[in-house]
Structure 1
Amino acid sequence: MMKALVSNRSIGARILKLASGKSFGKEVLVKVHTVALNPTDFKHVNVLSPQNVIIGCDYAGEVVSVGKEAQGGRKVGDRLAGLVHGGMYHDRGSFAEYLKIDGDLAWKIPDGIHGEEAATARIPAKAPTILIYAASTSNAFPDIKLAVDCYSEGNSTGLCAKVLKAAAGGKVITLLDTGKPSTPGVEYESILVYNLFGESIVWLPPIGPKFPAIPSDRTSLARLHTKLPHLVSDFKPPPIRLIEGGFDGIIMGLGELRQGKVSGGKSVAKL
């Protein structure tokens, strides 16, 4: 058995004891040591998640079981980190003591990188012509031209559009659908990070939006994970705010994110 934080619809999230399971086929079972909190976590709890699915996306932990068909050359004892689509499945989400993942959809944490750092890892864009806007999340890096709006709420997309207008126009990439642009010379394009897992997605069935599987995105993510251990040595983690209290601390931390109380850093909890 394991503890996990699951959705409880509009009431919020609650801690349950669930079967911990084991790895099958292409899966690897990870003992989760550290998780990072994101706005998408409480948004799934508030609106998107079915009842009693496991919440949480970012994680770092240790392999305890490897399926016979698992890819990536994983071994028991390997330290892994990555991202999963928490808030959609009853057997998969990072806010749990154990997590099942596809073996090639995680990256091996090199020596010298702590779990708290690995759980927050983002590789910044290096091109000098890109603006990445993230408001109070930890995904902001100062550059200019193509704009990537990692916040995609309030007036964030409009602010990006104004920057591009001053630079003779361009495109704003958003993580949420923010409507049509009103700024001349600027276009918006919405992407969904969860397409990277190569699975179709349906939110709020039967009336919610549907997103088809994109196998090529999964291939790209698996390829990236083979390179991350070599790139992460150049990674400078955001300011980390360590949350005490395990699962109870995660519930508190999600509440603080929901209320806009976290700014300029990343909330991280140990399990």
Structure 2
Amino acid sequence: MDDEIPRTMKALVGNRSMITRILNYACSSSSGDGVKVTTVPVPEIKDNEILVRVRCVAFNPTDFKHVDILSPRGAIIGCDYTGTVVRIGSKAPGNWAVGDRIAGWTHGGLYPDRGSFAEYLKIPGDLAWKVPSSVSDEEATTFGVSAVTAMLALNVRLGVPWIDDTGLAKGRFDSPILIYSGATSAGIYAIQLAKYAGLKVVTTASPRSHDFVKEYGADDVFDYRSSTAVVDIIRSYPNIKIAMDCFSEGGSIEFCAKVVRKNQGRVVTLLDPGTTMAAP
């Protein structure tokens, strides 16, 4: 298959100057030509990497945020992908074979030779997974940034028990957790992980999404736009002390902080608020 791999490929790359990106950050705006499709070299892989022919990608908020503020000109955009293995480094972990279906994520938006919105991408062999025949390319490409974000937030930062090979979590316990913005991609994964861990899943969503998040395991749903939402959650779950903010903009961080403040709880946010926040 090496003979079939071209030397160049099409890719979506960042196209904003540093000055424009600084202005976007300062003004919380999006201006200038953000991206363009161009021809770039097919990435050269290291011994521990594999080369993937991209078949499907997913779009994440971090992608357009990189374009607005972080991505230098020429950086390939995109994180999540599904594809086919076409070249394998001599020391690449993972027992890969040419032709394997593969999915995963990469840190796109910063480098000229690494990103998923391209015909080919390179990835370390241990940062991907083999896609079973029962899972479509479209489905597989969603198990990337959002799923990993949910695991890092819940299992690593908030101490939610890991799920073992049986599909159950060690040390299951019936404690409440707030997942703010449960209808987002990260929120949906967080709801399922928390539910498998035995937690009482409390989430926020607009009324039209209440049934949607309940289908994925939410036990209780509150309208985040309600002026009494914080009070209602505290009244219903007075022992709640952990929260994951899957939106992390506007007043969502303060909302979560108020909910867990009485119990001196913890909130994991997906964006850095810039300052340490104490709920009033």
Normalising to structure 1: TM-score of the pair?
0.62
Higher helix share: 2
Q: Indicate the residue corresponding to 2:14 in structure 1.
A: 7
Q: How far apart are the structure 1 equivalents of 2:247 and 2:116?
A: 21
Are residue 173 (structure 1) and residue 268 (structure 2) matched?
yes
CA contact (8 A) 2:43 2:114 kept: no
Q: Indicate the residue corresponding to 1:34 in structure 2.
A: 56
Equivalent residues in 2 for 1:10-29, closer than 5 Å: 10-29=32-51
Q: Residues 180, 21 of structure 1: CA spacing in aligned structure 2 closer, same or farther, 3 A cutoff?
A: closer
Q: How far apart are the structure 1 equivalents of 2:91 and 2:99?
A: 18
Q: Indicate the residue corresponding to 1:73 in structure 2.
A: 95
Stretches of structure 1 lacking an aligned partner (at least 5 in a row): 185-271
CA contact (8 A) 1:131 1:148 kept: yes
Question: SS where residue 117 of structure 1 aligns?
Answer: helix
Q: How far apart are the structure 1 equivalents of 2:265 and 2:183?
A: 24
Are residue 133 (structure 1) and residue 187 (structure 2) matched?
no
Q: CA RMSD in A?
A: 2.0
Stretches of structure 2 lacking an aligned partner (at least 5 in a row): 1-7, 17-31, 155-159, 162-174, 192-200, 203-239
CA contact (8 A) 2:241 2:261 kept: no
Q: How far apart are the structure 1 equivalents of 2:82 and 2:96?
A: 14
Question: SS where residue 139 of structure 1 aligns?
Answer: helix
Question: SS where residue 55 of structure 2 aligns?
Answer: strand
Deviations 1:116-162 (A, max 9, x none): 11111227657653323246631112446321223211111111112
Q: Counterpart of 2:70 in structure 1: which amino acid?
A: L
Equivalent residues in 2 for 1:152-163, closer than 5 Å: 152-163=248-259
Equivalent residues in 2 for 1:240-251, closer than 5 Å: none
Q: How far apart are the structure 2 equivalents of 1:77 and 1:134?
A: 38
Larger relative contact order (CA 8 Å, sep ≥ 6): 1
Deviations 1:229-251 (A, max 9, x none): xxxxxxxxxxxxxxxxxxxxxxx
Q: Counterpart of 1:28 in structure 2: which amino acid?
A: I
Q: How far apart are the structure 1 equivalents of 2:68 and 2:183?
A: 20
Q: Counterpart of 2:139 in structure 1: which amino acid?
A: E
Q: How many residues matched?
A: 183
CA contact (8 A) 1:22 1:65 kept: no
Question: SS where residue 256 of structure 2 aligns?
Answer: helix
Q: Indicate the residue corresponding to 1:248 in structure 2.
A: none
**Percentage of pairs with the same residue:** 52
Q: How far apart are the structure 2 equivalents of 1:132 and 1:62?
A: 35
Question: SS where residue 179 of structure 2 aligns?
Answer: strand
